[in-house]
Structure 1
Amino acid sequence: MTTLNHTAVSHTVFRLLGIPGLQDMHIWISIPFFISYVISVLGNSLIIFVIVTRRSLQEPMYLFLCMLSGADVILSTCIVPQALAIFWFNDGEISLNRCLTQIVFVSAMFISESGILLVMAFDRYIAICYPLRYTTILTNSLIGKIGAIIFLRSHCTVLPVIYLVKRLTFCKNNIIPNTTCKDITLARLSCNDIRINIWYGFIVLIITLFFDIVLIFLSYIFILCAIFRMPSREARAKALSTCASHVCVIFLFYGPGIFSILTQRFGQHISLSIQVVLGNTYILIPPMLNPIIYGIKTKQIREQLVHMLIPKHK
């Protein structure tokens, strides 16, 4: 029996291909990537600046929104500049360590955003169901602890992925058919058994995202029950309005995100180009639309943005 020495051919440098089958259209594809990235960075940075600098917005709801905007900026920046380098300059070379760093940041930010959306649902639950105790429950100290827990949960969940990928020997080719590094795509370039990689990612998806979705759903059941018990029609409309933007963001985030993760692990029959496009959808669209949704639907933010951009002359 012959034993193959895979270590001798193990790759430490890889090449990101972009969108397989659509390389001739990379220049045109780069246009929506660039526009969405500019809108995402400018819009979310503006939201962060307004919330941080305006005393009237120093409330739990807006502080959580500030966290969400920060995660959106990091998530977009981890992905889009690399994709644009491939589209514009055909610069897809990436080292294994840099690839792993990208995987950690993208996965951690995705799980962090899920946690932030959960605490934003909890924030709306407290505000509507216990309005008189809102400020005493959600203190600045508690908000800081919640932020730390979200950060620790995301990174503790993702760090085992580094070990699972590091143990692999990459003895096939070094071409990654994607615009960014994905743990499961990288694992498929190895000559090892990667079932644990596939199932660990799936278990993380169930434990974190599914758990968050269930709690968000339960929160909104209680919220809706409290809203429809309100005697005033105007009060019900106002309460529903404060939740509308959050619900829109939830659907934008979880829909394409979960579908993309599932197709990466179990959608081998789906073409690579579709998988890559879906994988970029949840990176491009939510960070771009979140500040627009909150800027339009949230009256306080909209007013502060207008005052900042169009100052009144005395």
Structure 2
Amino acid sequence: MLTTITGNNGDPLNAKVEVEDNFIVVHSRGGAFNKPNLRNPDYRQALRTILERLSAGGAMLSGVWLDSRVALKWPETERQLLDSTEFSLPVDDLVTLIGQRGAAKGRPNGMQGHGNSTKRVRIGVAGTPSGELSRLIGSDARVPQSRLPVETLRRVEPWMIDKAIEAIKSGVQHNFLDSTDYDVLLPTGERLPPKAVFGVALEKVIGRPAMPSDFSGGIGTPCFSSIEDAGYPIIQKSERVAPPQSEFDDERSWAEGYPKRVKHLSRERASGLAQMKKRRFTDEHGHLFCERCGLIPSEELGPFGDACIEVHHDTVAVAKMDGKTRTRLADLKCLCANCHRIVHREQM
């Protein structure tokens, strides 16, 4: 997919650039400067701008390779110009190395000379879809990105978050990079980027692939709130959580009782387990009711009556959980507040 690179002044650069999943191709410069057929004269500026913006965007660069028709016949190691360990160098140094090594690789063995330092090159960016790459390199960073209205973002429902997580785990393509500060913690102990989870869910609302510029992430944003409301805790990336003790099944066995978690996790039960139980119970029965006395609070107590339904651990008391206790949704019961207290007294 061809794209246009703009300079820092907002003007488009005269350079041919293609973007595909995980790669950016910068076509070679050709022709003599004193001839009217000069091709891609802004080659160096475009290459520098691309590397600069990828670095500023935190992209994971995997390497740069010579990509000419002749070079494509060589083994990949012989046409590599930069490897992943060199991207900590200043951008100007990277551009110089690409030119020098590209020219050297283009000479016949043993011959001296300058060679062509502006050859077609392929820049590898690990795990980055073409849409995200276009966003990173295709516009002046000073141009503000428009956000979707908060009202639109709040239309994301818990079931959409569930579906988004399933889709991401199955390998669906999306336009989001890995997270830098926070992770969504799944019952299995796996972690996913919050913006990716919300972005894939948001597609159900807006009817198109979501982009990082459509919304913000962070504590208190609709993105994080929607994920937490669906029952999935969001933790700091540096937070270490004890690994699960066994494989999880469709009933979503959760680890509980770990005393040290971020504020989203409490000692009493894995965050989100109660919300998920209520959501699955409602999906199955059409409404919440007390499994002990049969009370249907929405009928007896009005539209907010469901607030009195609580989730009870029917097999192992919370107080006896040791951090390795495994809880399935089938191990939980929905009880009204009165019956819940009675059951706890009966178990004392």
Fold conserved between structures, TM > 0.5: no
TM superposition score normalised by structure 1: 0.23
The structure that has the greater radius of gyration is: 2
TM superposition score normalised by structure 2: 0.21
Query: Which structure's residues are more often helix, by fraction?
Result: 1
Bigger relative CO (Cα 8 Å, ≥ 6 apart): 1
